[in-house]
Structure 1
Amino acid sequence: MVDKILAIIPARAGSKRLPGKNSKQLCGKPLVKWTIEAAQQCESIDEIIVSTDSETIAEIAKDSGIPVPFLRPEEISGDTATAIDVVKHTIDYYQKIGRTFDYVLWLQPTSPLRSSTNIQEAIATLKTKSAEGVISVCECDHSPMWSNTLAQDGSMKNFLSNFVKKNPRSQALPTYYRLNGAIYIAKVEPLLAQETFFLEENLFSYVMSRESSIDIDHHLDFKLAEFLLTERTEN
């Protein structure tokens, strides 16, 4: 039997740092539409749903051919609501109408440069590794080995480790990766049981380029995404 994948695009109305960002126009499209279209182009996805508390975003999704069978209730629409709250609410809806899925694919609209190819490759990693979960990452812009906390008096004593002091060239340092927020996939049963996409067993990474990993949180992120998308479409 072929595993069934449910893609959830979470797109609530509120955003403190960049108000209305999910419906904000980015290179001629609402931000959320970039993720909707990337998901629609991925043949391995069986169902796509937009979970939102916004009538505006719901209309954008419906106009794109994506079902919005409900508006997200207030208790899972605020700043304290978690991804797992939204996943549980969505899975519960489908169970009530007699539909089940093997995997949940979580696609945040704040990653507009994540392509359908990225999504498909992450799903392929899931299958190749016989994994229960896959999470996307990218290389860190700067090695965290160059970072540390500061003492109250601003002293930099012991700021760098001896290893870094002896290997001042960045090329000599190990490569570090960070979460980029673009793709999370998890098998439904352990996801619900452990209440996290960071499953205890059989969890693997999918590495994306830093350019494709832009995560829009602030105005500057939005402008950078705008520049990169414009450059991509022109080339």
Structure 2
Amino acid sequence: MLAIIPARGGSKGLPGKNIKDLKGKPMIAYTIEAALKSEKISRVIVSTDSKEIEKVVKYYGAEVPCLRPASLSDDKASSLDVYRYVIDKIEQEEKNKIEEFIVLQPTSPLRNEIHIDEAINLFENKEADSVVSYCKESHSIFWHKYIDGDGSFVEIFKDNFQKNRQEIRNTYYPNGAIYIFKRKVLETGKYYSEKSYAYLMDRNVSVDIDDIDDFQYAEFLMSKK
């Protein structure tokens, strides 16, 4: 299976995060190494607009067939459009039809090759249209609220507010670590279909790094292993 690692150069929450040194290696190196160790992945491609990132990822063994255009590198660019661009580019240049692929975000350095292979096995065994990694939420979403500018509460959910924690069904959130798609799902502009499934991951490997707090938490967890 083809792996795509999206890694643009610009990051406002944590500048340079994709190649920021994390316990002795650029953060993106952990994702590249996990993909290369996977028994299910045959090719690892990084989609980036940065020559600096390109140099780093090639050192760690991934491909950069071409730099991503500026139109797909700003904050408004859709992730699905980036995946389409990569797939279309490969198909046009190599005359090779890609029916399925996996996306591994570099901001999930605690995800390893075992998680990847398990998720792909789920995708294959279920004959799924897509598989997305999820993590169990520790607190009920029914406790969440909007907060107005004056600090007052605004209810999001009208029901279940008075229920005890034990009475409320568990909820899960996508942790950003693994996305597996059939090409036909990509064309719908959605991540899910009626044949989509969740690959569940533990909380201690589900850190998705957006800012310095996430980064330092990942360092802490890695230092404990």
The alignment's TM-score, normalised by the length of structure 1, stands at: 0.88
The one-letter code sitting in structure 2 at the alignment partner of 1:72 is R
Greater shift in the superposed pair: 151-160 or 28-37: 151-160
Q: CA deviation at 1:150?
A: 4.2
CA positional deviation for 1:101? 2.1
- Listed one character per residue, the Cα deviations across residues 191-210 of structure 1 (whole Å, up to 9, x for unaligned) are 1x2023x2323111111011
Task: Provide the alpha-carbon RMSD of the alignment.
Answer: 1.9
Equivalent of 1:24 in 6, 20, 38 = 20
Contiguous gaps of at least 5 residues in structure 1: none
Aligned equivalent of 2:204: 211
Which deviates the most, 78-87 or 176-185?
Answer: 78-87
Q: CA deviation at 1:30?
A: 0.3
2:109 corresponds in structure 1 to 112
Classify the secondary structure of the residue corresponding to 1:67: coil
Say which is worse superposed, 130-139 or 172-181, in terms of deviation: 172-181
AA aligned opposite 1:181: G
Q: 1:190: how far off?
A: 2.7
Distance 1:175 1:100, change over 3 A: same
Equivalent residue letter for 1:140: E
Deviation at 1:182, TM superposition (A): 0.8
Higher deviation after alignment, 221-230 or 137-146: 137-146
Return the TM-score normalized by structure 2: 0.92
Residues 172, 6 of structure 1: CA spacing in aligned structure 2 closer, same or farther, 3 A cutoff? Answer: same
* Residue 46 of structure 2 is aligned to residue 53 of structure 1: no
The answer for unaligned runs of 5 or more in structure 2 is: none
TM superposition shift of 1:151: 5.8
Matching of residue 126 in structure 1 with residue 119 in structure 2: no
Number of the residue aligned with 1:143:
140
8 A contact 1:138–1:208 mirrored in 2:
yes
Q: How many residues align?
A: 224
The answer as to 2:180 corresponding to 1:181 is no
SS in 2 for 1:183: strand
The alpha-carbon distance between structure 1 residues 67 and 172, as it changes in their structure 2 partners (threshold 3 A), is same
Distance in 2 (alpha carbons) for counterparts of 1:84 and 1:157: 33
1:150–1:159 Cα contact (<8 Å) kept: no
Inter-CA distance 13–150: structure 2 relative to 1 (3 Å threshold) = closer
Please name the residue that 1:10 is paired with.
6
Q: Deviations over 1:120-164 (max 9, x none)?
A: 111011112111110110011321111122466655597886644
Alignment of structure 1 residues 147-162 onto 2, 5 Å: 147-150=144-147
CA gap 1:153/1:67 in 2 versus in 1, 3 angstroms: closer
